[in-house]
Amino acid sequence: MYLNQEVKKEIFAKYGKSNTDTGSPESQIALFSHRISHLTEHLKSNKKDYSTEHALVKMVGKRRRLLDYLKAKDINRYRAIIKELGIRK
């Protein structure tokens, strides 16, 4: 599977406060971004996979809500995670 425990721990260690910090908005946004990029690549070769497309749209919405929350809470952390993940081009 593309997302195993080791990959999750790496993401949480890089973007969270520790490798067990699964609740911070930054770590959740990073995890969603990783999953979104994987599903986007999947959909490039499987254009008619509508259930995956639906899941991707829901996931993008969840990430958007987390980003909105972080923007309202602390604009500097928001700008840092956007720059680090390269979400806004």
Percent residues over pLDDT 70 in the chain: 98
Domain 5-85 has CATH 1.10.3720.10: no
Indicate if the pLDDT at residue 13 is higher than 80.
yes
pLDDT over 80 (residue 24): yes
Average pLDDT (58-85) is 96
**Which of 70, 89, 81 has the alpha carbon at shortest distance from 30?**
81
Q: What is the pLDDT of residue 1?
A: 67
Q: Give tens-digit pLDDT for 30-63.
A: 999 999 999 999 999 999 999 999 999 999 999 9
SS3 string, the chain, reads CCCCHHHHHHHHHHHCCCCCCCCCHHHHHHHHHHHHHHHHHHHHHCCCCHHHHHHHHHHHHHHHHHHHHHHHHCHHHHHHHHHHHCCCC
Predicted pLDDT at 18:
85
